[in-house]
Structure 1
Amino acid sequence: MSTYVGEFLQRVSGLSLLAILALAPRPADAVELFGGIGTTGLEIGVGERVGPNTGLRLSGEFLDLSRDFERNGASYDTKLKFSTLAVYGDYFLGDRFRLTAGAQFGTRKASGNAVASNGTITINGVTYPAAGESVDAEAKFPSTTPYLGIGWGHAQTGQGLSFYVDAGVLVGKADAKITPSAGLLAAAGQANIDAEQRNLQESVDKLKLFPAVKFGIGYKF
């Protein structure tokens, strides 16, 4: 079961910070508002060029996906949810190409619920009678996650619309946890539940690098 839940690994009050930054006094030609979409969800933010080759950005990034499916006699209900505030620093190597480093702060987690649909469910490689029984699983990433990447855009070289793209990784290992229903716990035993959780954690450990690919448009004032 851990294999299937592991496949799906990988909104915020920080929007008020974005509004503060956007409304604070600045040179009339310094601020860019932008929005886009990508593997970290919907992005909305504000950026500023703070030096000849450097820029600073704040963004809120939100993702809420779910999927239901049947596999190996179990019904799966899975969810992937991100709700983060991100801070990025840009270093421009040319007019638009840049290196980016930063971090995301907030919640990133994947969760799933498996319910036996044919009267059995498999725990730690062993199949148990489990009509109506279920098991919950969750993988939660660190609340602070470093980011490294490259990108194009956010250069704010002229007033008007512009395009941007980012490609990078979020670095951080999630903690996994499974919680069986009482009947399944009694049938499988705590030792098998613990072994299944270790299996899930091993699957989650392979996802230390989460791909963050985004594209969108910005408007410079």
Structure 2
Amino acid sequence: MYIMSTSVLKRKAGVALASFALFGAALVTETAQAVELFGGIGTTGLEIGLGSRIGSNTGLRMDAEFLDYSRSFDRNGASYDTKLKFSTLGVYGDYFLGSSFRFTAGALIGQRKASGNGVATNGTITINGTTYPAAGESVDAEARFPSFAPYLGIGFGHAQISKGLSFYFDAGVAIGKADAKITASPGLVAAAGQPNIDAEQRNLQESVDKLKFFPAVKFGLGYTF
């Protein structure tokens, strides 16, 4: 599991806290409704946020979401150590049907990427359908999602009807395709040729292009003041 440095964590926490302070001040200024502080976990990582009703059927929320996840897999003769890393702000508008069920629209703003470093498992790596000697060689792959991704979803909670503790659940999708990139070590480029490296990158991009929607499923607790 990749661990962010203390300075990076402090900087990101500072930005999130400053954003929440401004957002909270705006909520207090614009509405007399109660304000909810919430936190949870899901496919977009850990989140902490603020929200409030701004009308009889509408609400506004903002959160900070952080995900740092690692796993390994094998592909084309290489073993990849991969990382999925999110560091985003989410801004959402809710439309309530009844007291708790809602439709949600918004956006994720910030960094979302998947990266991996691959090394040969049996002294060879397959590039564009052909196997090449690759002892001591490596290949890096990265898929970077758009820094602005529209979000659509449904959920329960964040109603801010009365003070106290409450549960929330969200299910939706962040919309946007990632850009893929492959970087091979010089020896592997010499063995396979840059045209084959480029063709392998196109193959990866075609696979990534199928992931037009990133699923966002979250749940957690909120406290309304």
Give TM-score scaled by structure 1 length.
0.91
1:54: which partner in 2?
A: 58
- Alignment partner for residue 106 of structure 1, among 107, 110, 127? 110
Amino acid at match of 1:103: A
Give the Å deviation of 1:50.
Answer: 0.4
| Higher-helix-fraction structure | 2
3-state SS of the aligned residue for 1:156?
coil
Structure-1 separation of matches of 2:75 and 2:206: 21
**Aligned partner letter, 1:145:** A
- Measured in 2, the distance between the counterparts of 1:72 and 1:138 equals 16
**Number of residues of Structure 1 aligned to a counterpart in Structure 2:** 211
Counterpart among 163, 180, 200 of residue 184 in structure 2: 180
- CA root-mean-square deviation: 1.6
Unaligned runs of 5+ in 1: 1-10
- In 2, the alpha carbon distance for the partners of 1:23 and 1:50 equals 14
Residue identity matched to 1:170: A
C-alpha displacement at 1:15, in angstroms? 3.5
- Say if 2:104 is the partner of 1:96: no
Which deviates more, 60-69 or 159-168? 60-69
> What is the TM-score with the length of structure 2 in the denominator?
0.89
1:140-179 aligned at under 5 Å gives the runs: 140-179=144-183
- Distance of 1:125 and 1:167 partners within structure 2: 38
Matches of 1:47 and 1:192, distance apart in 2: 50
Code of the aligned partner of 1:21: F
CA contact (8 A) 2:34 2:163 kept: no
Q: Is the 8 A contact 2:38 2:222 kept in 1?
A: yes
> Match of 1:6?
none
Q: Distance in 1 between matches of 2:58 and 2:69?
A: 34
Instruction: Please say if 1:204 is aligned against 2:208.
Output: yes
Paired residues of 2:176 and 2:212 also in contact (CA < 8 A)? yes
Q: What is the CA-CA distance between 1:192 and the residue it aligns to? A: 0.3
Indicate if the aligned counterparts of 1:29 and 1:220 stay in contact, CA closer than 8 A: no
Q: Please give the per-residue CA displacement for 1:67-125, whole angstroms capped at 9, x wherever unaligned.
A: 13456643211000000001000000110000000001000000011101321111111
Identity rate of aligned residues, in percent? 75
C-alpha displacement of 1:16: 1.7
Structure 1's 51 and 29: CA in aligned 2 closer, same or farther, altered over 3 A?
closer
Secondary structure in 1 matching 2:207: helix
Question: Given the alignment, which residue of 16, 20, 43 partners 1:18?
Answer: 20
Q: Work out which of the residue numbers 124, 131, 141 in structure 2 matches 1:127.
A: 131
Q: Aligned with 1:95: secondary structure?
A: coil
Pair 1:44 & 2:44 matched? no
Contact 1:106-1:143 at 8 Å conserved across structures: yes
- In the alignment, what sits opposite 2:71? 67
Match of 1:7 in 2: none
Where structure 2 has 5 or more consecutive residues not aligned to the other structure, the ranges are 1-8
Which letter does structure 2 place at the counterpart of 1:128?
Y
- 2:155/2:171 contact within 8 Å kept: yes
- C-alpha contact 1:138 1:177 (8 A) present in aligned 2: yes
Q: Comparing both chains, which one has the higher relative contact order based on Cα–Cα distances under 8 Å and sequence gaps of 6 or more?
A: 1
- Give the superposition deviation at 1:212: 0.4
